[in-house]
Copies of this chain bind each other. A is one copy, B any other.
Amino acid sequence: MGRTSDAREKILTAAQALIELRGYSALGVAEICKAAGVPKGSFYYFFESKEALALAVLDEHWEAQRSDWARILRDDAEPLSRLRRLFEETEAGLRAGQRSCGTVSGCMFGNLTLELSNQTEPIRERLQQIFDAQVEMVEKVIGEARERGEVTVGDTREAARSIVAQLEGQVLFAKLYNNTRHLDGLWGNCLALIAARRPDTAAVGS
């Protein structure tokens, strides 16, 4: 009674919203349970600790994002068009978030990396796996574009890592200035970082 899987979902949803708003360290289990509308006993029925909850939140968030990225990056369009659409959808998601809650909350993975990666090894490892998976997905598309002679970059893994780094850095600025305009240059920068052989490269930074 009460300890249904519904309660687990409520805790996860409340925790994700609170972590996006205020980070992890400042949160207490009591506050999460209050926001979720479940008794504190339920929490420890489903999660061994606050850290176990954070891992579950990361897994759930990544599962949703991974499936979005896979859909975008695996369709039939040309490789660079798919990569561009990944940026466009990421920007659209951040803009929608800002409209609904008033602030750019940024990237949960980047936020928790800077807040926690030096404090808990299980969270550091999970975040490494997530970013490795992101880089791998981007690398695959860059490799396809290179096979078509559209990009000249040598080390596709390093280029993919740089693109994800650029994304994280610009999302940091979008959050800091609460302004998604900082995402406008992402695609131009991405083309520069993979040395794309296309007319649009001329537009980089202009």
Q: Which A positions have Cβ atoms within 8 angstroms of B?
A: 21-23, 25-26, 103, 105-106, 110-111, 113-119, 124, 127-128, 131, 153-155, 158-159, 161-162, 164-170, 172-173, 175-178, 182, 185, 189, 192-195, 204-206
Contact = CB atoms under 8 A, between A and B. Distances in A.
A158 to B, nearest CB: 5
Contacts of A176: 113, 117, 124, 127-128, 131
Contacts of A131: 173, 176
A121 to B, nearest CB: 10
Contacts of A114: 106, 110-111, 114-115, 172, 175
Contact of A189 (B116, B167, B178, B193): B193
Most interface-central of A25, A114, A127, A155 (chain B CB within 10 A) = A114
Q: How many copies does the complex hold?
A: 2
A26 B161 CA distance: 30
Contact of A118 (B21, B128, B166, B182): B21
A89 B194 CA distance: 26
Nearest to A127: B176
16 contacts: A22-B118, A23-B116, A26-B119, A106-B118, A113-B172, A114-B115, A154-B206, A155-B205, A158-B205, A162-B170, A165-B172, A165-B182, A166-B166, A167-B169, A192-B195, A195-B205
B153 A204 contact: yes
A182 B161 contact: yes
A28 to B, nearest CB: 11
Contact of A23 (B115, B127, B158, B189): B115
A164 B154 contact: no
A114 B155 CA distance: 30
A22 B169 contact: no
- Give the top 9 A-B pairs by smallest Cβ distance, nearest first: A165-B169, A154-B206, A169-B169, A25-B26, A25-B25, A168-B169, A153-B205, A159-B205, A114-B114
